[in-house]
Amino acid sequence: MNFLRFLFGCFKIITKGGRIYYSSLFFLLVLIVWGGLGYLDQLQNGLIMTNMRDSVSWGFYIGNFTFLVGVAAAAVMLVIPAYIYDWKPIKEIVIFGEILAICAVIMCLCFIVVDIGNPLRFWHMLPFVGTMNFPYSILSWDFFVL
> Same domain, yes or no, for 59 and 119?
yes
On the question of pLDDT at 58 being above 70, the answer is: no
Residue at 50 is within a domain? no
* Number of domains forming the structure of the chain: 2
Residue at 129 is within a domain? yes
> Same domain, yes or no, for 11 and 66?
no
How does residue 55 score in pLDDT terms, banded at 50, 70 and 90? low
> Same domain, yes or no, for 99 and 139?
yes
> Same domain, yes or no, for 119 and 142?
yes
How does residue 119 score in pLDDT terms, banded at 50, 70 and 90? confident
> Same domain, yes or no, for 145 and 85?
yes
What's the rounded Cα separation, in Å, for the pair 42 and 138? Answer: 23
Most confident of the following: 1-5, 23-27, 53-57, 59-63: 23-27
What is the pLDDT averaged over residues 27-40? 94
Whether 130 and 124 have beta carbons less than 8 Å apart is answered as yes
Identify the domain containing residue 6 by its residue range: 1-45
How many other CB atoms sit within 10 Å of the CB of residue 47? Answer: 18
> Same domain, yes or no, for 19 and 69?
no
Residue at 13 is within a domain? yes
Residue at 1 is within a domain? yes
